[in-house]
Amino acid sequence: MAVPKSPRSRGRVQPHERLITFARLVRSREQMSLFEGKVRDYLMAMLSPEVSVTRYGRTWRLARSEILEDRFLASKLGFARVGAAEEVSYDETIHDFVYKVRMSEQGNFSHFVLDLHTHVLAFEERPPDIRRQSFLGALRGIIQQGGHPFEVQALTESRDFWEWARSVVRIVRFKAILRPPNPQWRPRTELIRSLIEPTGADEMDVQAKVDPKGDASLHVEDTVLHEAVEHASAGYARLSAVGIEEGRRRMFRSDQNVQTGSIVVDPDEDSSGVFRKLIRLLKERFQGANAL
């Protein structure tokens, strides 16, 4: 039996949940020495509303940012576009429905917060207008437009790789594209560090494979491949792997397994309230983020 809404709740817009995706700003290795002690100021200047980028007919811009708790940069990224909108009205003179075309401005924006100590970023997905790839693509475009030596990489879920690994009988191919971290290496990545640091490489590929037609499987746990998985979970590597399960190939890609969370936003909540919830979520998820 249907239960009628109470007078207090009838017609009220309810709070809704928003998906939050985590990413990291990563600077290129050759530019690291230029920013020592100045990264915070550089990031604040880089994420300025003066730069825009146009993608797929949308012009994306940043809102004016603010610093909260002396650590978090809070801003918005969104787009606005003018387009023709068709509407239906009733014409009393001819007693018929008619179409009218008028120009209207359409757009949307996402709130985001950047931790200036760890460079971890939390942003809203606002479907259908702003999803993960459109937000990241627009932010990358703005950074590239200004010629800044930074990249944006989604933070991946290392547990998703291990869940995938348990679902296959054999792992026959593994590839990791590795980058040096900033500001420091994690304790569980010493093998990767010993590979990258002596070479001075800005990026390094690690590949391993066995014959997919045989019976052998790659050993991932407690090897350099294990460290690559850990490195990817901190946002400094991209992974792909191939496994065999019941004679079929199963693929894994880290860029499809990103770290996410959620916040609940009230209908009348302003931006400052959303920013506070994003900061709280960052603190909860990345308590030890200084060690990343």
pLDDT tens figures, 54-93: 988 889 999 999 999 999 999 999 998 666 667 777 788 8
Provide mean pLDDT across the span 104-114. 86
DSSP 8-class letter at 16 = E
Mean pLDDT (the chain) is 85
In this predicted structure, what is the pLDDT of residue 83?
Answer: 63
Q: What is the mean pLDDT of residues 239-249?
A: 91
Residue that wins the pLDDT comparison between 82 and 8: 82
Grade residue 232 by pLDDT with cuts at 50, 70 and 90. confident
**Token pair for residue 198?**
């002596």
Cα–Cα dist 204/236, whole Å: 11
pLDDT digits (tens, 9 = 90+) for 204-216: 999 999 999 899 9
pLDDT tens-digit map of 259-279: 889 999 998 899 999 999 999
Higher pLDDT, 32 or 120: 120
With pLDDT > 90 as the criterion, what percentage of the chain qualifies?
Answer: 50
pLDDT value at residue 84: 64
Q: In the chain, what are the domain boundaries?
A: 16-79+106-154+259-287, 158-256
Q: Is the pTM of this model over 0.75?
A: no
H-helix or E-strand containing 182? none
Residues 111-134 pLDDT 10s: 999 999 889 999 999 999 999 999
Task: Output the DSSP codes for 195-238.
Answer: HHGGGT-S-EEEEEE--TTSS-----TTSHHHHHHHHHHTTSEE
For the segment 43-50, the average pLDDT, to the nearest whole number, is 89
